[in-house]
Amino acid sequence: GQQLNQSPQSMFIQEGEDVSMNCTSSSIFNTWLWYKQDPGEGPVLLIALYKAGELTSNGRLTAQFGITRKDSFLNISASIPSDVGIYFCAGNPYSGGYQKVTFGTGTKLQVIP
């Protein structure tokens, strides 16, 4: 099946640093989603993007829907220890149900206090 190219695969950063991760695809998407997964838990939605060029913030998190509709990025500013986890991007080619959504392989974030 199709997969998104998500990078980096893992990151070690110092507390207080900013973080940037991105996803690219050969296919066009109508929706981009960013999820965070804590150890032993299910993915939790951070930000949903519905329009090309859209820039959306959620606290210290900012995500953008690329103009080409084939990429998206997530930035985390001033990282804190609780930001540790795996971040997944996901793209949906439809405006409807998510049966065709494709997930990235995840970015594992470690924050050093």
If binding is defined by CB under 8 A, does position 43 make contact with another protein?
A: yes
If binding is defined by CB under 8 A, does position 105 make contact with another protein?
A: yes
If binding is defined by CB under 8 A, does position 90 make contact with another protein?
A: yes
29 vs 62: CA distance, rounded Å: 19
Residue 60's CB: how many other CB atoms inside 10 A? Answer: 14
Tell me which residues in 6-35 interact with another protein (CB under 8 A). Answer: 30-31, 33, 35
Q: Using CB under 8 A, count the residues that bind another protein.
A: 30
Task: From 112, 113, 109, select the one nearest 10 (Cα to Cα).
Answer: 109
25 vs 50: CA distance, rounded Å: 16
Minimum Å gap between C-beta 68 and another protein is 20
Q: Binder to another protein among 14, 82, 97, 113 (CB under 8 A)?
A: 97
